[in-house]
Structure 1
């Protein structure tokens, strides 16, 4: 199992989950409105990365920037 330190609080995770589901749904059901295939792929990648962060509770960008939205104990 991965041994990573969570750096996302529950609210941050929930927002990422909502954003990921919304973007995935938009690209899947209304992709023809976007038109550009490259833009569709970029939105899809962004949504998948947010979904992964939602499930893991860890954001690689936060890790690099040394940010954590979790409360310190």
Structure 2
């Protein structure tokens, strides 16, 4: 199985990771502030999808839009 080609830079990945963790913490620990269980679930799903992009370095939305922030460094 071939992995998709990376299209996220390290900076982009770090921002996604931080925002994702913050969203998960907010949705879990301050659920009463959100109020709606459906909205809480949507926030968690969005955060998990961003965590997957953070881990893999590949974003399907970037792929569809033909965007890449990844810089391949040849040494």
TM-score by length of 2: 0.90
Unaligned residue ranges in structure 1 (runs of 5+): none
Moved beyond 6 Å, runs of 4+: none
Q: Give the equivalent residue in structure 1 for 2:25.
A: 25
1:71 Cα deviation after fit: 2.1
Q: Distance in 2 between matches of 1:52 and 1:64?
A: 17
Equivalence for 2:71:
71
CA distance in 1, matches of 2:57, 2:72: 15
Root mean square deviation, CA, Å: 1.3
Unmatched 5+ residue regions in structure 2? Answer: none
Structure 1-normalised TM-score?
A: 0.93
